[in-house]
Structure 1
Amino acid sequence: MGTPPDPIRDTESLRGSRRSKTRLPRRAAVGRRSFASTLKALDELASSGAKVSVRITDLDRGTSVLAGDDFVTLPIAGLGIVPLLIDVAAAFEAGALDPLEIVERTSVEPVTVAGIWQHLKAPALPLSDLAVLTAATGDALAANVLIEKVGLPAVRARIEQMGLTRLALLDRFRDERGPDDAPHVALGSARELAEVFAELVNTNVVSAAVSAQVAEWLSLNHDLSLVASATGLDPFAHENDEHGLLFVNKTGRDAGVRVEAGVLAGPRAGVSYALIVCFDDLSISHRLRAHEAFRTLGTDLMEYVF
């Protein structure tokens, strides 16, 4: 699964305030881990017929730590809300959308695939709260309202503006997909997903304010069951970790699809990462084997940054 690292280029890390002030030499962080366990787990998945795409980038050096089919475009399910949130935050900043505008839940078709708004008594919420629900709980109904407000063409234009060619939000969330619907909510590649998260924490997406807003929303994500399970963080309160761990992530789940992308930074190093696995969800054991590969990656990432 691995490929040689990219040429070294200098990048400025803007995450220093969240790291320990006493850092070990960079060579100690870079040279001591081979991600052998991750490579073995992903090779086993690929041998069983799964499609696997992975990318890990060292944030401070700007080099590829691990890459395997990271250019391949695959379904990314709920991770497609990341470009949506970027466009919403940009619209807030530009004044094109009012973050306090109240929107009725009934303004879009009901959808029950994920989220908690469908279970709340409040029939309407402000757009800013819907962005929080979308990022923190993967709320499909909240995401669909945001899609309705900004429009899919605007999100696609934003993706093009960012120079991304393999990332696309194709459709709203649906309980069932018919023959006239897009086959997937979103598509993407591990390389571009890792790049987006790196640019977010380095405040290079649209503007510093937009980057900070989107990163703040995503830092509230409750799903720490895949790669993030190795961090030991509280799923419901991990924005300010007492051990100086910086962590921002988003997951995506669909039938036979598991995806996670994010940024993980500790005292030794920081990385952006993305892993996409598309597999035959024939049994619980097939699903658990895919999940275990994500957790193995999480363990290797923690060893890399600490």
Structure 2
Amino acid sequence: MPRHRPGVGWPDLTVRRNAPTGRGTDSPISWSVCVRDSGGQVVYDHRPDTVLSTASVGKLLLLIEVARALPLDLPCDRRDVEPVADSGLWQHLRTDVLPAHDLAVLVASVSDNLATNVLLHHVGLERVAALGHELGLASTALHDMVRDVRTAAHPPRLSSGTAAELSLLLHRLPGIDGGERVLDWMRTSADLSMVASAFALDPLSHDGLVLRNKTGTDDGVRADVGVVNGCAYAVLANWPPDEATVGEVLATMRELGDGIRAFVGN
């Protein structure tokens, strides 16, 4: 059963509220949700230990390893890796070489796939995996580089995790080596389409609430993890793409954001 602190309204994640009958049916959406207060105590959760695909949220582990182990002025050349499309800005820029710090900002702000793969080229997936073990993450991991085409020969998903582990990681981040730098990069996140849509912030200038977040998007996957005014949250949703609408998922994520906003008192 979900846990929640009284006095804050949270949506019911067990029913599908836009069913054609209007009566609600069992939801095809799998949720993993965990919200913690500034002391790390859980104020709301729903299946927090369920392992789900998290798409680009796994890039957070890469950013932590970059922050603690890579010279941030290291010149990084995108010609060292195969081109990759979809999210990101570097593929549209003319410069082939950028410092590691700038690539980290691109990953944090627009989940830049090309910057991700170049940083992985320098850091190595093995070191990111070792970091996860060092941090005590049993179910949260970045499994692979970003690929335009994922075949049976590749890991089936870019990353996976649980809301319990991810929210705790965000809560602990200030005390982790390199964590403060990662939080500074995360303040540039431009994706406020999910949980963070409730916070009424300008995606390009986060005045008001103190928000740091990272999102992940794929077919049948939406994930948003972050810290807002000291409250750490992780909201993960997976569903069969032909059985639920993105609009339903995003609306529910917005309701969860409303609950978080009410809890932090804004």
TM-score, normalised to structure 2, is 0.92
Q: Where does 1:79-98 land on structure 2 (aligned, <5 Å)? A: 79-91=57-69, 97-98=70-71
Q: Would the aligned equivalents of 1:98 and 1:127 in 2 still touch at CA under 8 Å?
A: yes
- From 227, 232, 248, the equivalent of 1:272 is 232
Match of 1:133 in 2: 106
Query: Which AA in structure 2 matches 1:274?
Result: A
1:32 maps to which residue? Answer: 7
**In structure 2, C-alpha distance between the alignment counterparts of 1:226 and 1:76, rounded to whole Å:** 13
Q: Shift in Å at residue 102 of structure 1?
A: 1.6
Q: In the aligned structure 2, how far is the partner of 1:255 from the partner of 1:33?
A: 31
2:211 alignment partner, one of 247, 252, 272? 247
Return the alpha-carbon distance in structure 2 between the equivalents of residues 162 and 212 of structure 1: 16
C-alpha distance in 1 between matches for 2:7 and 2:50: 29
Partner of 1:108: 81
Tell me the matched-pair count: 257
The aligned amino acid for 1:77 is A
Give the one of 118, 122, 126 matched to 1:149.
122
Deviations 1:139-195 (A, max 9, x none): 000000111111011001111111111111100001110110000011110001101
Paired amino acid for 2:246: R
CA distance in 2, matches of 1:86, 1:55: 21
Q: Is the 8 A contact 1:53 1:277 kept in 2?
A: yes
Distance 2:254 2:95 in 1: 36
How far, CA to CA, are the matches of 2:71 and 2:49 in structure 1? Answer: 37
Alignment of 1:1-306 (within 5 A): 2-3=2-3, 31-35=6-10, 38=11, 40=12, 42-45=13-16, 47-60=26-39, 62-91=40-69, 97-200=70-173, 203-206=174-177, 210-238=178-206, 241=207, 243=208, 245-265=209-229, 270-282=230-242, 286-306=245-265
Deviation sequence 1:23-77 (CA, Å, 0-9, x none): xxxxxxx642142xx2x2x2224922111111111123x3211111111111100
d(CA) in 1 for partners of 2:124 and 2:180? 22
Compute the displacement of 1:294 (Å): 0.6
**Residue segments in structure 1 that go unaligned for 5+ positions in a row:** 6-29, 92-96
Instruction: Report the CA distance between 1:198 and its aligned residue.
Output: 0.7
CA-to-aligned-CA distance 1:178-217 (integer Å, 9 cap, x gap):
11000001111000110111112xx2112xxx11100001
1:81: how far off? 0.5
Root-mean-square deviation over aligned CA pairs = 1.6
* Runs of 4+, deviation exceeding 4 Å: none
- Structure 1 contact 57–63 (Cα < 8 Å) conserved: yes
* TM-score, normalised via structure 1 length: 0.80
- SS in structure 2 of the partner of residue 112 of structure 1: coil
Q: Which residue of 1 aligns with 2:19?
A: none
Contact 1:280 1:286 in 2 (8 A): no
* CA distance in 1 between partners of 2:6 and 2:47 (Å): 23
